[in-house]
Amino acid sequence: MKRPAATIPERADATVVDEPRCPRCGYQQRGIIEAWREHCPLEGVCTECGLVFEWRNVLIPSLDPPPWCIEYGRWKKVPWRVARTIGLTFRPWKFWSGLQMHHPIRPGRLLLYPVGLALFCYLLIAIATGLGMVLAMVDSAQSGFTVRFPQALYAVLHAVVLPFSDHAYDFLSPPQGRWFTGESAADISHELLSSGPLWITIFACAHFLAAAGFALLPLSRRKAKVRWAHIGRAAVYGLGLIPVAIFFFLLIGLLALAGDLTIVSVSHLWYGWRGPTGFAHLSGFCILFLLHVVWWSFATSRYMKMPHGWGVGLSVMVISLLTLLLIYLMYFNYLMPT
């Protein structure tokens, strides 16, 4: 009995490409395919960069896209995929095991990811500002102020919707002989974040400088012949580390406000660099640095298939931070009079 010829499953998102190329360096593999006569091997080796790949991933690159990635799937599931992509950012070993170089890069969807991150960060700040407003009300009540309920509820809701508003809320009645001007959502959010925006900006700049830092590793990058499109993809998805930084600093701010309520006699220590807040910010710097090193290490080893992933991840982050320090020193010397 004659067996039917094997066919490729027909799917709307799985089509055979006309010009199969190496997932890493983009070198065309048509010449090797033309040499096939009797059988098709399961694996191949790129003659340009030496990458070992499966032929099914080269011929049908969109056959098995990761179900959580924002670059694939229907548009109505984009918000859910943004949330799942952010969640997997904290597990880069699983992130880069699911998303591989042979999966086609879709720039439109990829550039939509930072927009989703911005909305998610805004939501974190809004919720924390509302909680901070409640703690500020409790602190005012302990100081002898009378909290008026309808105005207080409006102030909390307004702070959640507009966490950076400068509008001063009139929800307190000061005791006789005392004067009060009110507190705005911007005051609360700035107090919660404290020096957080500075560290977050530094690491956001360092993150993209780390991507550019691959140019300073010519031996490793040229040997692997990694395309800049893959480095850019890793840089965009690495922005998912920003929400965890914002959450960390907001948590520090909320704990500091709670500390003011319970440890009033030593409350000034919370905001000093030698107190718990200063120690937490120093810890936050170290945690952010380690997170970025881990991210670039797994992106280098599991995604771009480059050797010495941990060494490359540590190198690009150190280079980027030293570059930022040099720029700061040059700017500081420029402002200082001679």
Mean pLDDT of 138-148: 72
Residue 265 in this model has a pLDDT that exceeds 50: no
- Which long-range contacts (C-beta less than 8 Å, at least 24 apart) are formed by 112-118? 112/70, 112/78, 113/70, 113/82, 113/85, 113/236, 113/237, 113/239, 113/240, 114/236, 114/239, 116/70, 116/78, 116/79, 116/82, 116/86, 117/82, 117/86, 117/239, 117/240, 117/242, 117/243
Element spanning 158, H or E: helix 149-161
Q: What is the mean pLDDT of residues 282-305?
A: 86
Helix axes 276-298, 241-262, angle to 10 degrees: 160
Let me know: does 294 contact 313? Beta carbons within 8 Å.
yes
pLDDT digits (tens, 9 = 90+) for 309-321: 888 888 888 888 8
Dist. CA 137–CA 118, nearest whole Å: 29
What is the structure's pLDDT at 303?
Answer: 92
Record the pTM: 0.78
Instruction: Give pLDDT, residue 318.
Output: 86
- pLDDT tens per residue, range 87-136: 888 889 999 989 999 898 998 889 889 988 888 889 998 998 888 888 87
Give pLDDT, residue 237.
93
Reported as a pLDDT band with limits 50, 70 and 90, residue 175 is low
Pairing of strands 168-169, 183-184: antiparallel
Using alpha carbons, select from 108, 96, 321 the residue that is nearest to residue 199: 321
199-238 pLDDT, tens per residue? 778 888 888 888 887 776 666 666 668 888 898 999 999 9
**Residue 282 or 275, more confident:** 282
pLDDT of residue 3: 44
Residue 186's nearest CA partner among 140, 243, 126, 139 is: 126
Burial of 306: CB neighbours in 10 Å, binned 0-12, 13-18, 19+: buried
Question: How far apart (Å, rounded) are the C-alpha atoms in residues 106 and 230?
Answer: 12
Q: Are strands 172-173 and 43-45 parallel, antiparallel or unpaired?
A: unpaired
CA dist 203 and 212 (Å) reads: 14
User: Using one digit for the tens of pLDDT, what is the confidence trace for 10-52?
Assistant: 444 556 777 888 888 888 888 787 777 667 788 888 888 888 8
pLDDT at 287 (0 to 100): 82
Domain boundaries, the chain: 107-335
Write the CB contacts of 123 (distance below 8 Å, at least 6 apart in sequence).
Answer: none
* Segment 62-91 mean pLDDT: 85
Q: Kindly state the DSSP code that residue 27 receives in the 8-state scheme.
A: -
User: Which among 139, 257, 129, 277 has a CA at the least distance from the CA of 190?
Assistant: 129
Residue 8's pLDDT is 46
User: Region 158-178: what's the mean pLDDT?
Assistant: 71
Note whether 297 and 309 are within 8 A (CB).
yes
* Predicted confidence (pLDDT) at residue 4 exceeds the cutoff of 50: no
**Tell me, what's the pLDDT at 222?**
65
Q: Between vectors from CA 119 to CA 115 and to CA 120, what angle results, nearest 5°?
A: 115
pLDDT of residue 269: 46
pLDDT on residue 267: 45
Mean pLDDT lowest for which of 185-194, 268-277, 327-336? Answer: 268-277
Q: CA-CA distances (angstroms) from residue 27 to 30, 54, 139, 230?
A: 9, 15, 65, 14
User: Which of the pair, 90 or 149, is modelled with greater confidence?
Assistant: 90
pLDDT grade for 56, boundaries at 50, 70 and 90: confident
- 154's tokens: 């409006």
Lowest model confidence (mean pLDDT) among 264-273, 297-306, 309-318: 264-273
Confidence at residue 7, expressed as pLDDT on a 0 to 100 scale? 46
Question: Cβ distance 174 to 160 under 8 Å?
Answer: no
Q: Which two tokens stand for residue 254?
A: 């909320």
> What is the model's pLDDT at position 178?
45
> 116-125, 156-165, 211-220, 329-338: which has the minimum mean pLDDT?
329-338
